[in-house]
Chain A
């Protein structure tokens, strides 16, 4: 709004100076600048959404893996206390017996030694307490 210089004479000088200093040109944001800002904002939020989309399936996969591992591990599976790692319910029958030795021998083939198979079988027939053979 245009103002008359003469009107300012009635105002205190300090106020006049302050008003004049504030009377500056309003910064104008050009369309180009506006587009750039919008693009940057979109890219920023898009990256955040991408990270979220990538993380969620990974978490789901991890949870599913844990669940599958828990469900698929046979009940009563035991690891040989001697550390051979072969004394377990191979055929998932619910008990550890000579059929597991047979299944292990067939599944491992030549990769498992006769000594290990013998050790497994001897544990099954052992009468010592703590060996659940049936």
Chain B
């Protein structure tokens, strides 16, 4: 076999081998964690917020509790809706019956949302505080903010 023919055969073999290995054409789906903070001058006994993505480009896949122990292990949210994997917004709330001296104040994390971002790029979402209350049940108006804590790709 001449060199030319040998080279041609090798080239064909390389092409065949290359085609047998599927190319990873899809970008990895990113997951991000978003911390939800409120900043209150008054000790907080209850809070409720709504979180939604813009243009339906995020999916909520999990929620975990915040930093304060007085609000229990996990906040209240619609776990059944999350399990369907199709929700684009979530309502999260919690309350505490702890004594007033134990209630958190200032800026503290109330929850962390785990999101799936189907499209590559910067996630767009917003958190809106629906209600917050102090120990006596009076409505208070702390500021709410979000912060992307970690990102992972799978």
Contacts and interface: CB of A to CB of B under 8 A. Distances in A.
B144 interface: no
B81 A99 contact: no
B61 interface: no
Interface of B: 45-48, 50, 76-78, 81, 87, 89-95, 97, 130-133, 137, 139
Nearest to B77: A125
Given A98-B131, A99-B131, A127-B81, A122 B76 contact: yes
Interface in A119-134: 121-122, 124-128, 133-134
Instruction: Identify whether the interface residues of B are mostly helix, strand, loop, or mixed.
Output: strand
Query: What 4 A-B pairs are tightest by C-beta distance, nearest first?
Result: A98-B93, A98-B48, A99-B133, A121-B76
Interface of A: 91, 93, 95, 97-99, 101-103, 105-106, 118, 121-122, 124-128, 133-134
Contacts, number: 73
Contacts of A118: 76
Contact of B95 (A98, A122, A126): A98
A102 B50 contact: no
Contact of A105 (B78, B91, B92, B97): B97
